[in-house]
Structure 1
Amino acid sequence: MRLSDRTRRGRALARAASMGVLLATALPAAACSEACCPPEMTFAALPGCLEQGGEVALAVGARANQPAPVLPAEVQTLLQRTAYDGDRISVFRVDGDPKPTGDAKFGSGAQNKVRWDKDLENFQLSLGKAISAVKAEQPEANPLEAVARASEAAAGQGTVVLIDSGLQTLAPLDFRQDGMIDADPVELVDFLEKEGQLPKLDGKALVLVGIGTTAEPQRSLDTARRDNLLAIWREIGKRGGARCVESYATAQQAAAPDGLPAVGAVTIPPPPNPPQGCDSVSIRDAGRVKFRPNSADFVSESDAAAELKAYADTALAKKYRVKLTGTTSSAGENRNTESKRKLSRDRAEAVKRILVGHGVPAGDVETLGAGMDFPGFADDRDRGGNLVPQLAARNRQVILEFTGCA
């Protein structure tokens, strides 16, 4: 394990532990000799913005539809340093109504290093058990509110740690709404900000652990949607005023803890099957066929090619011609501008390029750019004229139609 160049020395007088409901017993509170305690300790290095120290508040998602929470090595090191410095550690549960489960500061009355080290070790063990004991008590999941409450608890410029899949199931960030998981992160956070729903992080660090990691019955996220979900949470941190946002992945697991309140599953739309005959399907700007914002570049050209191969194979086998119509949301000016028509046409051309790469003759593929002007356009503005991000996501498509049937 890599060690930091900086050796941390704690305060001259360690403070008594006050564990509230977090730990069952308090640590001794006798006087500690400055000569012995706290001893010099060297910790594993952390990202620069987490070196600042201060109080830590953890929002722990031990709930249905995701694995039991796991503390990555970096978070364990952060907690060790926080305990050593005598700063407060608070814990909140993530469920439909997030609440604190306790808080603690480490202190030891030991007058020799051996005993002081043992007290710190016991504190860390007790803290780990307390975190493992956190369980959801209310149905559904509101990690956005959990982050807000954790931020209030971490005084000054401390650190908020969210250990959760990030798949919220309550307003204003209900990912069960069609299109929400595919929403543009900036547009979605714009909406939250206008609604006054962003957590106030005010110079704190935000650490995201396990975003996008799910367990049955929640269907797992594909890579593109997991990346988009993480981008949404990173944007929430940035726009909430966090001084930095760090993220750590955890392993996908099959089972969630038993006996916990229900959490609604977020629907992950599968890609549409190729039309059977001269018909059309809408290929959303989502999943493996996802474009970069305001661009005709795919997030992953290889993923798009793999997803679109079935359409090319069908067109070749049936000798169909293909008509591709790109569409857009109303983002920006709420009218069908030439820039919208051009972007939608360029995206249709990008899909054509993939089909041609799979062997479809270029002359058999027609491309159009409809912008906002297409059947099925969903009004993606609210009554105040604000863009509704999940509806905007649904309007970004390339409509594929097979023609030339015998």
Structure 2
Amino acid sequence: MRKQGNRIRVNNICRFVFLALAVLASAVGCGASKKEEEQAVHLAVILGAHANAPRANTSLIYDSVLEACGQSGSSISLIVNDGAPYASVVDIPETKAGLSREKYRSIAEDRARQILELADQMLARTGESDLLSAAALAARHLNAEEGGRKELVILDSGLTTVPPLDFTESTLDGIQTEQILDALEEQDAVPDLKGIESVCFYNLGDVAEPQSRITEGDRKRLTEIWKGIFDRAGAKRVEFRTDLPLSAVYAEGEVPAVSVMPVVEQASALVWEEIDLDELDAVSFGEETIAFLPDTDELVDREAAKKVLEGVAGYMKEHPQFQAMLVGTTAKTGDLESCISLSGKRAEAVRELLMEQGIDGIRLETAGTGYENPFYINDQKDGALDETAAAKNRSVILLDASGDMASQIRGHGYLVRGQ
């Protein structure tokens, strides 16, 4: 390959008079119908080649790249999603006429291998993840091409970490998708994907350390957000493909750091026999699992609450080194000082239940944060309390006492009972 500015030309000879190579996308790929095969294909690929996500598995896009490599006049834009996305563009030249079907295929395969090798070498240069800007950059490259079929393929976790779509500011639980989409449109932050035939998103929600794995509920909400963005952007077809093979993770220091998104699992969704608390940032015991009488620290049903906590007690008995922090939270009602006091008392009530099940109290820190905490969900709507969101804020959250979140809670002086 030889570079031409920010464009790269695959160096093959002569002219492609007719297409003998009929390359169809496989079941894994997002390709065209047979009727569309003889068009030029303009493909943009966004590579989530950054920290907190698995290494981009470019083998997933081989069929899409191969199809473009078999079409004269096609182009492939490779875009790295980082804090300041950048691109390399590969132009597909015409190929000599009169070659055998096997030769045409061999040339296309060689081109595809070269392009995937280039893609594997492209890594994040700056910290963070700005998928919105990466999508806008992809759209500009695709819209600059005349004619042909235009497709966007994304290999990324979808967890952007910079404004205006910063998932590190709060959890995804209880997020209002339409509010986010409206805000993005007001800020003119939705990319222009009109004229783009399809968007295919691979591995949305797949993460790597230090990002905690996201819950299935979070993955669903993340899908709703990105589907809404692409729909409003004007894409004709949007497809998400998950449960696909992941490649290795990046070595420490290989790519710049990316901020993590807090993850809270609702206790009602957990199967305690299968859970590993080390894989979660937090577990939330909301009103549907451990309910308190309004504005008090008195349990609605003490025996039911003990039953819910059996899984936690069992886990802590099996993992004697595990230390927990119980953090009380509230909805945004009343003054903060009162909410902090009430939430601390509720955390203490849960601590007592765990001690009754044989857990040494020295392993259980407690804190009360009221509505000032990383887990707070916006429960204010049109100047009034949104009861659906407020119910999720009335909780006691279980943290790993040795983790970063627990350290933040201590640092803010919310501790009720420490080690």
TM-score (norm 1): 0.61
Q: Structure 1: how far apart are the matches of 2:378 and 2:152? A: 37
Instruction: Report the Cα offset of residue 63 of structure 1.
Output: 0.8
What corresponds to 1:185 in structure 2? 177
Check conservation: 1:92, 1:150, Cα contact below 8 A.
Answer: yes
**Is contact 2:152–2:200 with CA below 8 Å preserved after alignment?**
yes
The aligned runs of 1:28-39 (5 Å cut-off) are 28-31=12-15, 34=17, 37-39=18-20
Question: 2:117 aligns to what?
Answer: 129
Distance in 2 separating the partners of 1:27 and 1:318: 68
Q: What residue number does 1:293 align with? A: none
Contact 2:31 2:64 in 1 (8 A): no
Q: CA RMSD in A?
A: 4.2
Structure 1 pair 242–176 and aligned structure 2 pair: CA distance change class (3 A): same
Q: What is the rounded CA distance, in whole Å, between the counterparts of 1:135 and 1:318 in structure 2?
A: 48
Percent identity at matched positions? Answer: 21
Contact 2:127–2:256 (Cα < 8 Å) also in 1: yes
Partner residue in 2 for 1:222 = 215
- Name the counterpart of 1:244: 237
Q: Decide which of 259, 268, 280 is 1:264's aligned counterpart.
A: 259
CA offset at residue 195 of structure 1? 1.7
- The separation in 1 between residues aligned to 2:30 and 2:51, in whole angstroms, is 34
* 3-state SS, counterpart of residue 77 of structure 2: strand
Alpha-carbon spacing, 1:212–1:181, altered in 2? closer, same or farther (3 Å) = farther
User: 37, 43, 46: which one pairs with 2:24?
Assistant: 43
Q: Cα distance 1:181–1:142, how it changes in 2: closer, same or farther (>3 A)?
A: farther
Paired amino acid for 1:76:
Y
Structure 1 counterpart of 2:43:
56
8 Å CA contact 1:27–1:107 kept in 2: the answer is: no
Displacement after TM superposition at 1:28 (Å):
3.1
Partner of 1:292: none
For structure 2, which runs of at least 5 residues remain unmatched after alignment? 271-283, 292-298, 308-329, 333-375, 397-419
How far apart, CA to CA, are the structure 2 residues paired with 1:101 and 1:225? 32
Structure 1 CA distance for aligned equivalents of residues 265 and 112 of structure 2: 44
Unaligned 5+ segments in structure 1 are 1-16, 273-286, 290-303, 321-326, 330-375, 402-406
- Runs of 4+ aligned structure 1 residues displaced above 6 Å come to 21-25, 46-49, 304-307, 310-314, 317-320
Partner of 1:397: 392
* Equivalent position of 2:278 in the other structure: none
Q: Which has the higher strand share?
A: 2
Query: Which residue matches 1:175?
Result: 167
Q: Do 1:200 and 1:241's aligned partners in 2 also have CA atoms closer than 8 Å?
A: yes
Provide the residue aligned with 2:350 in structure 1.
Answer: none
Which letter does structure 2 place at the counterpart of 1:216?
A: E
In the TM superposition, residue 173 of structure 1 has moved relative to its aligned partner by 0.5
Cα gap change, 1:119 to 1:231, in 2 (>3 Å): same
Matches within 5 A, 1:304-323: 315-316=302-303
Which deviates the most, 59-68 or 84-93?
Answer: 84-93
Letter in 2 for 1:211: L
User: Take 2:395 and 2:285, find their aligned partners in 1: how far apart are those partners?
Assistant: 15
